Structure 1
C-alpha cells in the first residue's frame, strides 16, 4: 500500500483513500493464471452438481410416489391400532406437550413445543461504500465509512472498525439468546420423533401485556423487556429481550388455540418415526396445518421441483463463472488497448453464456438418460440450438 489519507465532515463519517502501484502486465498475467486454475475446479464442480441434482430429483420423485401409494390415513389419533404398526401413516391433530417450557429469569411459562428468547443489544454498526479510480498512474480506492447505532442480535466487533474511537461496543452480552425444546410432544396418543419436532419452526412473538417486569430496572414496552435506563433513548450496551414460541399446545390460552399439524411417518406402536422407502429415501413429513395425504405429497413434489430448478440455475451460473475465469487470460492480453479490450470482453461473455447453456443442458440430459430417455433426447436437441445459431451467424454469405 503506497499511502492513505483521511477526511470527514462529522465524527460518525469519514473518507479513507488508499493507493497502490498499478500492476504490470506480467503481474496481471500471473493473477489470471491463478484464476484459470480456480475456474477449472469450479468447472468440474458444476458438472458434478448438475448431474447429481438430476439423480436426487428422480429419487425424490420415486420416493414420494411410493409413499403416496402406501400411506394409510388415520381417523382416530387417540387409539394407535396394532394393525398399522410398521406402516406409513397420515394423521392430523392438535399438538400437546406434557410439561411447560419456562424462563424463570423473566417469569415466562408456556405449553409450547419451542420457546425462544431473543436478545438484542444497542450497538455501533459500520457501513462502507467504495469506488475505484486511477490517478497519476496509481490505482486508488476511496472508501466512505459511516456509523450508526442499531439494535443487533449478535455482538458487533468494533475492533474491526476502520475507526473504533468513539464507536466502541461491549465484547459480550449480559443476557444470552436461547431456544428451549419440549422433550415429549404428542398428537393425540402418538409421540413425535425428534426429527418431526425439529420441523416445527413457525415462531410467533409473545405479547407481554399479561406479564410483569421481573425487576425494577427492567421495563416492558412494545413486547420487549428493556434493560435500559431510558428505553426511548437507549445507550450503547443496553439490551432488549423478546420471547417467541413455535407449536402452541395444550388447552386454549391467551395465545389462542393449540396448533394443528399434519404428519406422514411410520407408526411404531404409539410412536411416529422415519419410514424407509424402497426408493432409498426416508419419509418423515410435517406441515403446520391440516392437510389431506394427497395435499401433503403435492406440496412435497412442488418443493422438490423448486429445489431442482434452483440447483440447475446454480450449476449453470457456476459453469458460466468458471468459463469466464478460464478465458479471462484473453482479455488480459489486450486490456491495454481500449477499443479491442471491450470487444474481447463482450465476445468472451457471449461465448461463456452459449457454452455454459449448452453444457448445462447436455449434463442435465445425461443425468436423466437412464430415467427419462425421451426427455434426455429433447434436452440434447435444445442444447445444440445455441451452437447452431452461433455457427450460422459466422457462416460466409454466398455471392
Structure 2
C-alpha cells in the first residue's frame, strides 16, 4: 500500500523556520551533555581508582565488624531459600529470579518513506507500507495499521513475567536489591512436567513441548497469528564476586570522594583487578559513545539553523540540492569546531594539563602552517 502527500513550498518554509528554535535547543542540550559527560567520566575514573587503592579482601563468613563502612571484596555462593512460583505454568522452585518469556505471533507494519522535490519548492512524499509476521513479547496494535485487512488479537492471552527473590545471601551477608538484580546468569527450566492438556484447555489451543519451549497453536512449523511461545529461565544460586561497601550485615554502593557510586558484581570467581578493569573499560566506552552523540547533536543543530536557506533555494530543485549540500558541509564544520572547543573547555575542569597541552599543540600547528605559506613577491623590488 502507498500513501502520497504533497507539501507546499510555503508549508516547508514555515516548518524550516520553526526548526530553528529546535536547533538552538539541540545545541544547548549538546553543550550541557558535553560538560556532564566529561565530568561524569572523569569522576567515575577517579572513583574506581580510589576503590582499587582502598579495598580489602574479606571472607563471606563470619562478618568482621571492624570492616564496617570499608570497601570490601568478597566472593562466594549467592543463594536463597525463597520459593518463586509461576502460577500460570504451576512451577515452583528455589531461585534468585524466575523469568517467564511469552511471545505471540503477530503482524507488524513497516513504513518506508521516499521524498521528491518538485519545481516551485513543493515536496512529494511517498510512504509505502508492508506487512510481515513476527514473534513479539509486546502486543502490536493493528487498529493503527493503514491496511485494515491485517489484524492482530486485541489482548495477550499470557504475558512475560520477571520475579526476583527478596532475600538473597552471600555467606553471612544479605544482598540488597541493587546487587540481586545484577545476578543475571540464567538456566533454562525443565518444562517436561507441565500438564500440557490442562494448559491447552486454558488457552483453547493444542500445547506442545519442543526444546524447553511450550508452543501453543496448531503447528509450530506453520505458525498462525495469535499462536504463543512460552519459555522459562531461572537464576539459580551461583558463585559471584562483589566489590561494595560493608554496611552492617549488608553491602551497599560505595560513595567515593570523587562523587560517584561504585557497586560491582561479576559472575564466578573474578579478581579485583579484572573487575575494576571491566568497569573502567565500560566507563570509557560510555564516555566515547556520548561524545559521538553530542557531536551529532551539535552538527544536527546547526543543520536545522541553516535549513531555511536550502528550502528557499528549492524553488529550483537542483539549486536546492546544491545549497543543501553546502549548508550541510558548513554545519558539519561549525558543529565539529564548536564541539571541539567546548570539549577542550570541559577538559580544563577535569584534565587541565591535558587540555592546555592540546591547545598548545593546536596553536603550534596553526603557527607552522602560517609560516609555511608562500611569501608574496615584491614586484617593485624586482624592478630596482
Q: TM tier, shorter chain?
A: 0.7 to 0.9
- For residue 65 of structure 1, the aligned residue among 49, 59, 70 is 49
**Equivalent residue runs for 1:43-54 within 5 Å:** 43-54=27-38
- For residue 197 of structure 1, the aligned residue among 180, 196, 205 is 180
1:254 aligns with none
Cα 1:348–1:273, aligned 2, differ >3 Å: closer, same or farther? Answer: same
1:255 aligns with none
Paired with 1:331 and 1:233, the residues of 2 have a C-alpha distance of 51
1:90 deviation in Å? 0.4
Paired with 1:304 and 1:135, the residues of 2 have a C-alpha distance of 48
Range with bigger deviation, 299-308 or 28-37: 28-37
Cα 1:398–1:346, aligned 2, differ >3 Å: closer, same or farther? Answer: farther
SS of the aligned residue for 1:215 comes to helix
1:122 aligns with 105
1:397 deviation in Å? 9.3
Instruction: Encode CA deviations 1:188-238: one digit per residue, 9 max, x unaligned.
Output: 221111111122234444343465536262321232222224343333222
1:101 to 2:84 alignment: yes
2:286 aligns with 307
SS of the aligned residue for 2:196 comes to coil
1:343 deviation in Å? 3.6
1:381 deviation in Å? 5.0
**Equivalent residue runs for 1:317-336 within 5 Å:** 317-336=296-315
1:8 aligns with none
Instruction: Encode CA deviations 1:19-57: one digit per residue, 9 max, x unaligned.
Output: 33x513x43332221111110111111111101111111
**Equivalent residue runs for 1:1-399 within 5 Å:** 15-20=1-6, 22-24=7-9, 26-74=10-58, 76-133=59-116, 139-165=123-149, 167-209=150-192, 213=196, 215=198, 217=200, 218-246=207-235, 248-249=236-237, 259-338=238-317, 340-380=319-359, 398=376
Paired with 1:348 and 1:378, the residues of 2 have a C-alpha distance of 33
Paired with 2:129 and 2:364, the residues of 1 have a C-alpha distance of 49
SS of the aligned residue for 2:74 comes to strand
Paired with 1:191 and 1:219, the residues of 2 have a C-alpha distance of 40
Range with bigger deviation, 301-310 or 230-239: 230-239
Instruction: Encode CA deviations 1:244-281: one digit per residue, 9 max, x unaligned.
Output: 223x21xxxxxxxxx22111111123211222222222
Paired with 1:292 and 1:133, the residues of 2 have a C-alpha distance of 59
Paired with 1:136 and 1:150, the residues of 2 have a C-alpha distance of 41
How many residues matched?
367
Note if contact 2:23-2:304 (Cα within 8 Å) is conserved in structure 1.
Answer: yes
Note if contact 2:118-2:317 (Cα within 8 Å) is conserved in structure 1.
Answer: no
Range with bigger deviation, 120-129 or 149-158: 120-129
Cα 1:29–1:146, aligned 2, differ >3 Å: closer, same or farther? Answer: closer
Note if contact 2:101-2:231 (Cα within 8 Å) is conserved in structure 1.
Answer: yes
Note if contact 1:130-1:142 (Cα within 8 Å) is conserved in structure 2.
Answer: yes
Which structure: greater helix fraction? Answer: 2
Note if contact 1:106-1:213 (Cα within 8 Å) is conserved in structure 2.
Answer: no
Instruction: Encode CA deviations 1:262-307: one digit per residue, 9 max, x unaligned.
Output: 1111112321122222222222211123211222211111111111
Unpaired segments ≥5 residues, structure 1: 1-14, 250-258
TM-score, normalising length: structure 2:
0.86
Unpaired segments ≥5 residues, structure 2: 201-206, 378-384
Cα 1:299–1:317, aligned 2, differ >3 Å: closer, same or farther? Answer: same
What value does the CA root-mean-square deviation take over the aligned residues? Answer: 2.8
1:339 deviation in Å? 5.1
TM-score, normalising length: structure 1:
0.83
Note if contact 1:125-1:147 (Cα within 8 Å) is conserved in structure 2.
Answer: yes
Note if contact 1:228-1:238 (Cα within 8 Å) is conserved in structure 2.
Answer: yes
1:115 deviation in Å? 0.8
